[in-house]
Homo-oligomer: A and B are copies of this chain.
Amino acid sequence: MPHTDDTVFMRLALDKAREGVAAGQQPFGACLVKDGTVLACLYNRVLAAGDVTAHPETQAVREACQHLGSTDLGGCVMYATCEPCAMCFTAAHFAKVSRIVFGARLEDARRFGFGRFPVPNAVLKELAQSPIEVVGDFLREESIALMQRWAGQ
């Protein structure tokens, strides 16, 4: 179920994704928030870093762990402009992230050549019996519009 501040934090992630696109990066952003405090907010840096693991969600988990000095991100909410891939979902699971709110679906990203590991969060959650609460399709159209602009459509 969406919460009051979800729009605020998803817009931060969307703004960060736009910043990434302006810097020549892929159109994805994410932030991690605990008790209303933003612990990390990043855009996809796969191209900039030459690192396939530099998805914004995985980077945010790493940065938030550093920020808190803990590998336990219990109580944190992850806002992702696109549905996290299996790598990012699993990283969030290991870090005990409480909730994921995402915008576009992996199937949306596939229309733009992304989503090369097309396993939805709902499937991963079920397979791993993960306790993470997942809310999808949140400001989905804004995220799709960003991908469309990135693709020059």
Contact = CB atoms under 8 A, between A and B. Distances in A.
A140 interface: no
A52, A58, A94 — which one has the most chain B CB atoms within 10 A of its CB?
A: A52
Interface in A109-149: 116-119, 123-124, 127-128, 130
Chain A binding site: helix, strand, loop or mixed by DSSP? helix
Nearest to A129: B118
A7 interface: no
Interface stretch (A10-18, A31-39, A65-73, A74-82): A65-73
A69 to B, nearest CB: 6
B94 A52 contact: yes
Contact of A85 (B65, B90, B119): B90
A65, A86, A94 — which one has the most chain B CB atoms within 10 A of its CB?
A: A86
B51 A86 contact: no
Given A51-B65, A90-B90, 16 more contacts: A50-B69, A50-B70, A51-B71, A52-B61, A52-B62, A52-B65, A53-B61, A53-B94, A86-B86, A87-B87, A87-B88, A87-B90, A87-B94, A93-B117, A94-B116, A117-B128
